[in-house]
Amino acid sequence: MSQAKVQSANVDYAAFPDKTGHFGPYGGRFVSETLISALDDLTEMYERLKNDPEFLAEFDKDLAYFVGRPSPLYFAERWSKNAGGAKIYLKREDLNHTGAHKVNNTIGQALLAKHSGKKRVIAETGAGQHGVATATIAARLGMECIVYMGAEDVKRQAMNVYRMKLLGAEVIPVTSGSKTLKDAMNEAMRDWVTNVDNTFYIIGTVAGPHPYPQLVRDFQSIIGREARSQCLELTGRLPDALVACVGGGSNAIGLFHPFLNDETVAMYGVEAAGYGLESGKHAAPLNEGIPGILHGNRTYLMEDEDGQIIETHSVSAGLDYPGVGPEHSWLKDLGRVHYGAIDDEEALNAFRMLTRVEGIIPALESSHAIAYADKLAREMTPDQTIVVNLSGRGDKDIHTVAEIDGIVV
Amino acid sequence: MNRISKRLSDLKAEGRKALVTYIVNGDPNPDVTLLTMHKLVEKGADIIELGVPFSDPMAEGPVIQRGHERALAHKTSLRNTLAVVKSFRETNQDTPVVLMGYANPVERMGAEVFAENAKNAGVDGLLTVDLPPEEAPILIDKLKTAELENIFLLAPTTPRERAEKIVSMASGFLYYVSLKGVTGAGHLNIAEVDQRINELRTMTDLPICVGFGIKDGESAKAIGKSADGVVVGSLLVAKMGELENESPEMIAQAVGDLIEPIRKAIDEQ
């Protein structure tokens, strides 16, 4: 699967995925035949609604009044001064209702579910953020909601499990395979193939079969559109660099996509290096993986020489996934986005730093982006700016961090 | 003529239906598979469908998922599966063997290398659950070059126009997924399957085998009334799990015994 590097300046990013759902060699639809017609229906409905003024008005209204958008672009002045390089701005997705960027997408998909007439929604979740966001919107729209979650994650994220139950969702622990996010996604697919007539599958990231990577990206692109105009307003120019963490990659693509055709804006996606890239115990398929097929799309994966998916590790459950959205794989090959990696320890240090220096407790996922931006800022100058996506708040991670510190909360 | 087409046309000439049996290579351990394949043939299996273990078997119900997990604990994979087929061919040159699995192990090996190795091992066809025809032009081409059948799936949700397109590309036989669901599901609707098969008959002369949800002689017989063959899988894999710690000979015997009444039932048509 060696793909010649295309001159990225010649690519019209808005034109992808192509009609068959591919980003170059990536993406597509690798699913059971039973699901093809449901995906065709979804594609057709989305194509019809994505430019429909009424649908968009409904979406915008929810984003404004239910989520609380626009989220601020915040100048992290003390951090910038400490780093001594570029000016760092945080896109405050942590301030959204439910505490992360995930809700932008669940609202969009729940509106599609509503238009489809399906009254039952299902979702997979790792740390529980997407599950909570889905349960939240399902509660508001009065829909039945089933969330699949790896049995290991159910144990580790008891609070989010309880939040989902409070919101009226049924949380089903998944005991197959490695009992984590990838297995939850397998199980959600199995539910969908069984209940395809009455069920809408709300996928939480820019992965899965076409049209999911496209529609999740479109719903999350509100992040980048806002950041772009806020940056112009605050600094009078476009940022020099964007930084976002990448698990499946929805917050990153949401920030990056509206800037892709702005050649002067450099972009950095940050994967989880776990115990270190050299340890093999990480979740960095774009850094260390190779292209393969999983969960409905072709993309970079963590797999062994037999094509079996291997277990990943990250201190952050939201990045602990062996694949990545297909558009990221394509952007990597094109050289448009640089994908780096930050290990557990660096992320934990960044978590503590931001908390103490800016009074903002970031999610461990977002802490990977913060750690990376801290290094990057030091190589840049005070007349330059970086926008970092602060994709979620860290309340959910307090227990994890306390445990690492040897403290019982 | 490929072994699959020959076997199915011979059966048709005899007025009999094909019994297709599915087990996972290496389940519950690598010593069981070859013995069981021979035993299944002895007890009346017409086509052996050999599951290629995969870490994320998205289309499988819990029973076959466990089969994949048991197999992977012994690191059996695609390369080992090809080696097993090669051993099988040392004493059996007639029974068609179809590999059933997921796209990634084949992708990892490479379409061309796979087709060549599979041909050399004595494989007759490939059925990839998560690889719709649109995504597989290269693999389809390589399989054709190696004279291997690419078995296409049709589902209850496949619209007519799409079914026509798939049928036009197919060879060997068509695999009709009997229900909306995963393997081993319990909501088979015989009348619905009959209706779909009759519809497919208007599009093609290819044999149609039906899988997913066939659990016993009764359901096999009912499906066999309209289909050319029935696929039995979860029933056999469940037995593999149940007898996990027994000797390979005993497991092979017990799994073989399971298909006897099914063979009998479909022959009573």
User: Using CB atoms and an 8 Å cut-off, which of residues 213-232 of chain B contact chain A?
Assistant: none
Nearest to A224 by CA among A77, A75, A103, A388: A388
Residue A11 falls inside a structural domain: no
Residue A1 falls inside a structural domain: no
Chain-chain contact of B54 with A308 (C-beta, under 8 angstroms): yes
- Domain range for residue B204? 3-267
Average confidence (pLDDT) over A329-340? 98
Residue A24 falls inside a structural domain: yes
Q: Which ipTM score applies to this complex?
A: 0.95
B218 three-class SS: helix
Q: Which of A216, A247, A265 is the last residue of a domain?
A: A216
User: A302, A306, A321: which to substitute to probe chain B, counting the most B Cβ within 10 Å?
Assistant: A306
Residue A7 falls inside a structural domain: no
Look at the block and give the residue holding tokens 């290579």: B25
Same domain, A27 and A153: yes
- Give pLDDT, residue B186: 82
- Give pLDDT, residue A152: 87
Least CB-CB distance to B181: which of A194, A294, A303?
A194
Same domain, A116 and A89: no
Same domain, A136 and A35: yes
A233 touches chain B (CB under 8 A): no
- The widest CA-to-CA distance across chain A, in whole angstroms, is 57
State the pLDDT confidence band at A6, using cuts at 50, 70 and 90: very low
Residues of chain B found within 8 Å of residue A30, distances taken between Cβ atoms: 103, 130-132, 135
User: What is the rounded CA–CA span in Å between residue A142 and residue A343?
Assistant: 41
Same domain, A28 and A169: yes
- Domain range for residue A305? 68-100+221-404
Tell me how many degrees the CA angle A170-A109-A188 measures, rounded to the nearest 5: 45
- Is a pLDDT exceeding 50 seen at residue A281? yes
- Give pLDDT, residue A313: 94
Residue A9 falls inside a structural domain: no
- Give pLDDT, residue A389: 98
B83 touches chain A (CB under 8 A): no
- Give pLDDT, residue A178: 85
- Is a pLDDT exceeding 70 seen at residue A5? no
- Counting other chains too, the contacts that A194-197 makes at CB distance below 8 Å and 24 or more residues apart are A194/B180, A194/B181, A194/B182, A194/B185, A195/A120, A195/A122, A195/B180, A196/A34, A196/A35, A196/A38, A196/B157, A196/B180, A197/B180
State the pLDDT confidence band at B185, using cuts at 50, 70 and 90: confident
- Is a pLDDT exceeding 90 seen at residue B45? yes
Q: Which of A216, A238, A255 is the last residue of a domain?
A: A216
- Is a pLDDT exceeding 60 seen at residue A328? yes
Whole-Å CA distances, A117 to A109, A198, A397, B137: 12, 8, 36, 35
Are B209 and B20 in contact, with CB atoms under 8 Å apart? Answer: yes
Chain-chain contact of A34 with B156 (C-beta, under 8 angstroms): yes
What average pLDDT does the structure give for chain B?
A: 96
Residue A236 falls inside a structural domain: yes
Q: Say how many domains are in chain B.
A: 1
Residue A89 falls inside a structural domain: yes
Residue A10 falls inside a structural domain: no
**Predicted confidence (pLDDT) per residue in B104-146, tens digit:** 999 999 999 999 999 999 999 999 999 999 998 999 999 999 9
- Is a pLDDT exceeding 50 seen at residue A205? yes
A81 three-class SS: helix
Which CATH number goes with the domain that contains B69?
Answer: 3.20.20.70
The DSSP H or E segment spanning B36 is helix B30-42
Residue B223 Cα, gap to closest chain A Cα (Å): 19
Same domain, A228 and A207: no
State the pLDDT confidence band at A156, using cuts at 50, 70 and 90: confident
Same domain, A257 and A340: yes
**Predicted confidence (pLDDT) per residue in A230-245, tens digit:** 999 999 999 999 999 9
Same domain, A164 and A27: yes
Q: Which residue in chain A has the smallest CA separation from B129?
A: A32
Q: Say how many domains are in chain A.
A: 2
- The widest CA-to-CA distance across chain B, in whole angstroms, is 50
| Catalytic residue, candidates A102, A179, A182, A396 | A102
- Give pLDDT, residue A10: 80
- Give pLDDT, residue A4: 41
Q: Which of A194, A216, A238 is the last residue of a domain?
A: A216
Chain-chain contact of B107 with A193 (C-beta, under 8 angstroms): no
- Tell whether the torsion through CA atoms of B110, B112, B116 and B118 is positive or negative: positive
Which CATH number goes with the domain that contains A258?
Answer: 3.40.50.1100
Least confident of A22-36, A181-195, B115-129, B176-190: B176-190
What average pLDDT does the structure give for chain A?
A: 95
Residue B11 Cα, gap to closest chain A Cα (Å): 28
Chain-chain contact of B132 with A296 (C-beta, under 8 angstroms): no
Same domain, A254 and A343: yes
Same domain, A296 and A350: yes
Same domain, A186 and A264: no
- Is a pLDDT exceeding 90 seen at residue A8? no
The strand pair at A87-92 and A73-75 is best described as: antiparallel
Average confidence (pLDDT) over A129-141? 97
Are A299 and A27 in contact, with CB atoms under 8 Å apart? Answer: yes
